[in-house]
Chains A and B, each alone.
Chain A
Amino acid sequence: MPVLKILTYPDERLRQVSAPVERFDERLLERIADLEETRLDGPAAVGIAAPQVGWFERVVIVDVSGRKNTPNHGRLVLVNPEIVDWEGYVVGREGCLSVPDYTGNVIRAERIRLQAQDPDGRHREFDMEGFEARAVQHELDHLDGLLFLDRLVSRRRDLFRRKTYR
Chain B
Amino acid sequence: MSDWFMVTLAGKDRPGIVAQVTGALYEAGCNLGETSMMRLGGNFGVLLMAQTDKGAAELEAALRPVADELGLSLHLEPVDPQLHRHPEPDVCITVHGADRAGIVAQVTRAAADAGLNILDLESDIGGTEDEPVYVLHIEGTAAGGVDALRQALEPLQAGGIKVEVRPIDTLIG
Interface, chain A (partner B; CB < 8 A): 42-49, 62, 67, 92-97, 100-103, 131, 134-135, 138-139, 155-156, 159-160
Contact = CB atoms under 8 A, between A and B. Distances in A.
Contacts of A101: 84-86
Contacts of A96: 172-173
A93 B171 contact: yes
Given A93-B171, A135-B171, 14 more contacts: A45-B172, A46-B171, A93-B168, A93-B169, A93-B170, A95-B88, A97-B173, A102-B86, A103-B86, A131-B169, A138-B171, A159-B137, A159-B168, A160-B137
A139 B88 CA distance: 21
B120 interface: yes
A138 B169 CA distance: 14
Interface string B126-140: 000000000001000
B17 interface: no
Contacts of A138: 171, 173
Contacts of A156: 120, 122, 137
A139 B170 contact: no
Given A102-B86, A156-B120, A95 B170 contact: yes
Contacts of A95: 88, 170-172
A100 B83 CA distance: 12
Nearest to B122: A156
Interface in B59-117: 84-86, 88-89, 92, 94
8 contacts: A43-B172, A44-B172, A92-B171, A93-B170, A93-B171, A95-B171, A131-B169, A156-B137
A160 B138 CA distance: 11
Q: Is the contact region of chain B dominated by helix, strand, or loop, or is it mixed?
A: loop
Among A42, A96, A103, A135, the one with the most B-chain Cβ atoms within 10 Å of its Cβ is A103
Given A156-B120, A156-B122, A156-B137, A103 B88 contact: yes
A94 B170 contact: yes
B173 A46 contact: yes
Contacts of A43: 172
Nearest to B83: A101
Nearest to B166: A159
Given A101-B84, A101-B86, A156-B122, A46 B92 contact: no
